[in-house]
Chain A
Amino acid sequence: MQRFATKLTASFAAAAIVTIAMGADADVGDKYGAYKVEDRRSGFTYATKETQRIQVDDFENPAMIWVDDGEALWNKAEGEASKSCASCHNDAAESMKGVATVFPKYDPKLGRMKNVEKQINICRTERMKAKPWKLESNEMLAMTVYVRHQSRGMPMNVKVDGEVAPFFEAGKKFYYQRRGQLDLACGHCHVDNPGGQMRANILSQGQSNGFPTYRLKWQRVGSIHRRFRGCNKQVRAIPYKAGSEEYTNLELYVAWRGRGLPVETPAVRN
């Protein structure tokens, strides 16, 4: 009899634990709202409340300065053709709406993928006859943020089939390939261990929907390629160049991983 009672208590305890765990799970789903789609969670959900608050308030969000700068550049005529972005594309709020959700895109002329940065420089050199901007320069970041910002709230939706398929596969291969002295692939942290800790940092799923993002560590806005370089350095690998084909393919794969997540540009992260 005593034995039976012990068993009963144990099973009650087990039931209680299950209930608590399920309760917590149900909470999680509601709490993240639009920042979670199926099992995909935006980096926003891993950020602290303080960081989230900075992002959500358009005044407090320091990256909005880059948006303002981008708007000024949009209307500024440059180059031999003395054209501005607005000369062809008119109002960015209309013409650039949804752009962030579909880039990187395949460019038949280049025979490879192009991201927003690449497209901006193609426009500058071919249409405006102006000098291309350096990647990670203030102008390039401002314009990229401004263009991607027009799609804020829209779900990420890159094309990965047809002619894009080989580039998507290359990006996927990069994502799961071990590299560097630490012998780690992107997936080891961002697929196997999101929510876990890497020293004092909480690992996220590594979603790209908020990029270019204002990182408090950088104290400025930075591109997804800068983030890739940082990750690669941390596993003691030699990073590729920003704007390289390898990173552009990876950008495509990462964008697909976050399909359905809302564009948050400009996001704020730690």
Chain B
Amino acid sequence: MAKAKTRVKVPKSVKKGEVFEAKALIKHKMETGQRKDRKTGEKVPRFIINKFTAEYNGKQVFASDWHPAIAANPFISFHAKASESGTMVFKWTDDKGKTVEASAKVNVA
């Protein structure tokens, strides 16, 4: 999980108070726990990302709980407003409790 690939995108610079879109994507197979191993017939244990949050300058601005119906390699986008320059930190937490982070800088002009 530590090596999970992520891609995040925010505009390089925005005007103060302007609403902008933040986009985030992670490579993850999002194993639902419903599938059976074709050879052994045993259930493949659930392994998904169950929490996604975003922090701006240390303050949480977006949070969501994820469930098994979410597709593999999940993409999410949300809107935010910034009054000062800072760093948006995206965090994905999986079923094993591991967290992956990615960050992007926003420049408020």
Residues of A whose CB lies within 8 Å of any CB of B are: 54, 59-60, 62, 64-65, 68-69, 216, 219-220
In the complex, the answer to whether A219 meets B5 with C-beta atoms within 8 Å is no
Contacts of A219 in B (CB 8 A): 29-30, 71-73
Which chain B residues have a beta carbon within 8 Å of chain A's beta carbons?
5, 7, 9, 23, 25, 27, 29-30, 71-73, 75
CB distance from A207 to the nearest CB of B (A): 24
Give Cα A69–Cα B27 distance, bound, in whole angstroms: 11
Chain A residue at minimum C-beta to C-beta distance from B5: A65
* Chain A positions within 8 Å of B5 at CB level: 65, 68-69
Using Cβ atoms and an 8 Å threshold, which residues of chain A touch B23?
59-60
Chain A residues in 8 Å Cβ range of B75: 54, 60, 62
Closest CB pairs A-B (n = 9): A219-B72, A62-B73, A65-B27, A59-B9, A60-B75, A65-B5, A59-B23, A219-B71, A220-B72
Please state if B71 and A216 are interface contacts (CB–CB under 8 Å). Answer: yes
Q: In the complex, which residues of chain B have a beta carbon less than 8 angstroms from the beta carbon of A68?
A: 5, 7
Contacts of B72 in A (CB 8 A): 62, 219-220
Min CB distance A73 to B, Å, is 13
Chain B residues whose CB sits within 8 angstroms of the CB of A59 once the complex forms: 7, 9, 23, 25
| With contact pairs A65-B7, A68-B5 given, residues A60 and B71 touching in the complex (Cβ less than 8 Å) | no
- B residues less than 8 Å from A216 (CB atoms): 71
Query: In the complex, how many angstroms separate the beta carbon of B61 from the nearest chain A beta carbon?
Result: 20
Asked if A65 meets B71 with Cβ closer than 8 Å, knowing A59-B7, A59-B9, the reply is no
Other than the known A59-B23, A62-B72, A219-B71, what 14 A-B pairs have Cβ atoms closer than 8 Å?
A59-B7, A59-B25, A60-B23, A60-B25, A60-B75, A65-B5, A65-B7, A68-B7, A216-B71, A219-B30, A219-B72, A219-B73, A220-B72, A220-B73
CB distance from B68 to the nearest CB of A (A): 13
Q: List 24 A-B contacts (CB under 8 A).
A: A59-B7, A59-B9, A59-B25, A60-B25, A60-B75, A62-B25, A62-B27, A62-B72, A62-B75, A65-B5, A65-B7, A65-B25, A65-B73, A68-B5, A68-B7, A216-B71, A219-B29, A219-B30, A219-B71, A219-B72, A219-B73, A220-B29, A220-B72, A220-B73
Q: Considering residues A54, A62, A68, which has the most beta carbons from chain B within 10 angstroms of its beta carbon?
A: A62
How far in angstroms is the closest Cβ of chain A from B24?
10
Cβ contacts under 8 Å, A62 to chain B: 25, 27, 72-73, 75
How far apart sit A220 and B74, CA to CA, in the bound complex (Å)? 11
Q: Which residue of A lies closest to B26 (CB)?
A: A65
Cβ contacts under 8 Å, A54 to chain B: 75
For A65, list chain B residues within 8 Å (CB). Answer: 5, 7, 25, 27, 73
B22 CB to closest chain A CB, in angstroms?
A: 11
In the bound complex, CA of A193 to CA of B65 (Å) = 43
A69 / chain B contacts, CB cutoff of 8 Å: 5
Smallest CB separation, A99 vs chain B (Å): 25
A60 to B8, CA, bound (A): 10
The distance in angstroms between the C-alpha atoms of A202 and B72, with both chains bound, is 23
